[in-house]
Amino acid sequence: MVQARPFILDPLFRSTRGLPSIGPKNGQYLDNLVGGERLKDLLFHKPIDIIDRSYRPTIANAQQGKIATLKITILKHNPSKRRGLPYRIDAKDETGDITLVFFNAHPDYLNKHLPTGETILVSGMLDRYQGKLQMTHPDYILPLSEEAQLPSVEPIYPMTQGLSPKTLQKAMHAALEQVPDLPEWHDEALIKRQKWDSWKNCLTALHHPNSDTALNDHSSIRERLAYDELLSHQLTLAIIRSRSKKQAGIEHKGDGVLRQKIIETLPYRLTSAQERTLQEIYTDMSVSQKMLRLLQGDVGAGKTIVALLAMALAVESGRQAAIMAPTEILARQHAKTIEEVAEKVGLNCVILTGRDKGKSRDSILEKIASGGAQIIIGTHALFQDKVEYKNLSLVVIDEQHRFGVHQRMTLGKKGENTDMLVMTATPIPRTLTLTVFGDMDVSRLDEKPKGRKPIDTLLLSLERIEDLVSSLKTKIDEGQRIYWVCPLVEESEVMDLAAAEERYISLEKQFGDRVGLVHGQMKSDAKDAVMEKFSKGQIDILVATTVIEVGVDVPEATIMVIEHAERFGLSQLHQLRGRVGRGSEQSHCFLLFGKLSETAKERLQIMRQTEDGFLIAEKDLELRGTGDVLGTKQSGLPKFSLANLDEHKKLLEMAKDDAQLLIEKDYDLTSPRGEAMKTLLHLFDRGQAISYFKAG
What is the CATH number for 111?
2.40.50.140
Residue 101 sits in the same domain as residue 133:
yes
The predicted pLDDT at position 629 comes to 47
pTM for this entry: 0.71
Whether residue 68 is contained in a domain is answered as yes
In the beta sheet, which residues pair with residue 88? 78, 101
Residue 336 above 70 pLDDT?
A: yes
Residue 421 sits in the same domain as residue 501:
no
C-alpha distances out from residue 105 to 68, 74, 89, 102, 109, Å: 22, 17, 11, 6, 8
pLDDT tens digits, 107-144: 999 999 999 999 999 999 999 998 899 999 999 999 99
Q: DSSP letter for 567, please.
A: G
Of 594, 610, 626, which residue sits at a domain end? 610
Q: Distance (Å, rounded) from C-alpha 178 to C-alpha 230? A: 24
Of 445, 467, 487, which residue sits at a domain end? 445
Percent of the chain with pLDDT over 70: 91
Q: Nearest 5°: phi and psi at 140?
A: -130, 135
Please give the full DSSP string across 17-58, using - where no structure is assigned: GGSTT--HHHHHHHHHHHTSSBHHHHHT----EEEE------
Residue 559 sits in the same domain as residue 498:
yes
Q: How many domains does the chain have?
A: 3
Residue 278 sits in the same domain as residue 423:
yes
Q: Is 136 helix (H, G, I), strand (E, B) or coil?
A: strand
Nearest partner of 562 among 459, 474, 463, judged by Cα: 459
The predicted pLDDT at position 496 comes to 57
Provide the domain limits for residue 517. 456-610
Q: Distance (Å, rounded) from C-alpha 394 to C-alpha 415? A: 8
Q: Distance (Å, rounded) from C-alpha 331 to C-alpha 605? A: 34
Residue 399 sits in the same domain as residue 478:
no
Residue 416 sits in the same domain as residue 467:
no
CA 27, 33, 34 angle in degrees (round to 5)?
Answer: 90
Q: Is 482 helix (H, G, I), strand (E, B) or coil?
A: strand
Residue 266 sits in the same domain as residue 386:
yes
Q: Is 518 helix (H, G, I), strand (E, B) or coil?
A: strand
Residue 557 sits in the same domain as residue 526:
yes
pLDDT tens digits, 20-76: 989 999 999 999 999 899 999 999 999 999 999 999 999 999 999 999 999 999 999
Q: Nearest 5°: phi and psi at 294?
A: -100, 130
Beta strand pairing call for 320-324 and 375-378: parallel
Residue 490 above 60 pLDDT?
A: no
Is the distance from CB of 216 to CB of 235 less than 8 angstroms? no
Whether residue 270 is contained in a domain is answered as yes
Residue 541 sits in the same domain as residue 563:
yes
The predicted pLDDT at position 43 comes to 97
E strands of 465-623, at which residues? 481-485, 515-518, 541-544, 557-562, 588-593
What is the CATH number for 381?
3.40.50.300
Whether residue 49 is contained in a domain is answered as no
Whether residue 289 is contained in a domain is answered as yes
Q: Distance (Å, rounded) from C-alpha 46 to C-alpha 42? A: 9
Q: Distance (Å, rounded) from C-alpha 487 to C-alpha 262? A: 40
Mean predicted lDDT score pLDDT of the chain: 86
The predicted pLDDT at position 695 comes to 40
Of 610, 637, 656, which residue sits at a domain end? 610
**Half-sphere CA count of 371, side-chain side, radius 13 A:** 10
Residue 376 sits in the same domain as residue 484:
no
Least confident interval from 82-86, 294-298, 396-400: 396-400
Residue 409 sits in the same domain as residue 516:
no
Residue 497 sits in the same domain as residue 386:
no
Mean pLDDT of 159-166: 89
